Amino acid sequence: MDAFNNLGLGFSVAFEPMNLLFVFVGVVIGTAIGVLPGLGPTATIALLLPITYTMDATSAVIMLAGIYYGSMYGGTITSVLLRIPGEAASVVTTFDGYQMTKQGRAGPALGISAIGSFIGGTVAIIGLTFLAPVLAQVAVAVGPASYVAIMVLGLFLVTSLGTGSTMKSLCMAAIGLLLSTVGQDPITGTARFTFGIPSLLGGFDFVAIAMGLFGVGQLLHSLERTEKAQAITTKIKNIWPSRKDFRDSSGAIARGSLLGFVIGVLPGGGGVISSLASYALEKRRAKDPSRFGNGAIEGVAGPETANNASSTSAFIPLLILGIPSNVVLAMLYGALLLQGITPGPSLIEDRPDIFWGVIASMYIGNVMLVILNIPLIGIFIQMLRVRTGILATFALMVVMVGVYSINNNPFDMWVVLIFGVFGWIMIKTGFDPGPLVLAFILGPILERSFRQSMLISDGSFGIFVTDPISATIFGALAVSLTYSFISRRRRVKAAQTLSRECLGNGVSGVFH
């Protein structure tokens, strides 16, 4: 009954007129930026962080959360109609969604996407409602050694489950950890890596780094893009799927909901991984796998459902453990810090209005998205006609004014510009800035927990073995790394053997 009482509190907060307005604003902006290729929720939330500084904490997080899961809906529209993924997680939808459009079935593709997204998001919210309080009680008993192991696990998953090169992700995570140490030592107060610059005594500001890497960096990259928006010539009709469509998609939606929920909880998991996993699962289970890539509606329903389920369940580690599962939630973490609120096990007790208000707003936001998403397709598509240069100029002005307004410090403006150029270079060279930002967020928690563990154990590393949670996590990591190393060695040896055999056969053939 406590969960229902708490949810009642949440709905009383979410139904306040201003919060209800910000739910609507969030999902509309989210859908819009999901439609715009290349922008995405990360850059948008990074640009809006300074604005949230002047807002009520609950309203700010409700709006940013709406932008996050709303963008998952919006990215579907151009993926299906134009084969242009508006958001990274929507790439998988292009495989079968665009083929359905070519077959004159764009309506059912968009319809089943909206329905699957609603079901997946709702299932994840229900899981979040009942699971979060239980995890919070467990998390309160977690000690510093366990937190060290959890942070290391988070960094490992972020670098290994990412969509880019593992080595490049490790490099970015290392840079993020290094940047997190700039400033005063949290225990001794000694200046570290400040190089005599007084503005660095407090360390780098998270908002300035995020706005530079994802805001300015993405804007610079977008200005380089010269491709023109494609015109929509397809007539969208019969949006409500047929009985056969529902029958074919029901299993994919059910599996996608559960799969997305589980993957979203993992650090480093998220929409891209969950949608890929769902697509692979449905193709493996299909009686005729050749249908996939040729307009199979399950190839649209499953990934879209998993995508939205994972974007919702990812709030569990953020709100309960204070660990952002992906880079978008790192932005939300930063928004909470701006409000003087630190996510963690005590958030439910200290600020139940924020915790339960955000959860209740997700129920409302999912309903709004279903109602608004289909009728406004034409309006959202027209946004592709807006010139990138106009959007970039306006956004850059908002960034510079916003970052200055937070601390009234011109130094932060230079940080934004420097990291903006750095972010642009990273995009050009194939480096993902996500691990850098997540490591920057997790770094202080990791350092604080590690030093607390050393103080408790009088400098003995044995505390990480005697602590049950820490020992289990580090043991699992050791087994995983060992297995990965052995598997890689076997693949290299197999490739070398095959190469020698092919070379030998080629030489024999020449002499013969």
- Please give the chain's pLDDT, 512 residues, in tens: 476 787 888 889 999 999 999 999 988 888 877 776 556 677 777 777 777 777 888 888 899 888 888 877 777 777 777 776 656 666 788 888 888 888 888 888 888 888 888 898 888 888 888 887 777 777 666 778 888 887 888 777 766 655 557 788 888 888 988 998 888 887 777 888 888 888 888 888 777 887 788 777 777 776 766 555 454 555 666 777 888 888 888 899 999 999 888 888 776 556 667 887 888 888 888 888 888 888 888 888 888 898 888 888 888 888 887 777 777 787 788 788 877 788 877 788 888 888 888 889 988 988 888 887 666 666 666 665 656 566 666 667 766 776 776 667 788 888 888 888 888 888 888 887 778 877 887 888 888 888 888 888 888 888 888 888 888 888 888 887 788 778 777 777 777 776 666 656 554 554 44
d(CA 327, CA 355): 20
Q: Which residue has the tokens 């229900």?
A: 126
User: Three-state SS for 183?
Assistant: strand
Query: E strand or H helix at 365, and its extent?
Result: helix 352-373
> Residue 364, exposed/middle/buried by CB under 10 A (0-12, 13-18, 19+)?
buried
d(CA 315, CA 428): 31
Structure tokens at 249: 């998609």
DSSP state letter for 433: S
Distance between first and last Cα of the chain: 83
CA atoms within 13 A on the CB side of 77: 28
Q: Which residue has the tokens 């990259």?
A: 221
Query: pTM of the predicted model, to two decimals?
Result: 0.71
Strands in 156-276 per DSSP E: 183-184, 191-192
DSSP 2-68: HHHHHHHHHHHHHTSHHHHHHHHHHHHHHHHHHHSTTTHHHHHHHHHHHHHTTS-HHHHHHHHHHHH
d(CA 461, CA 493): 37
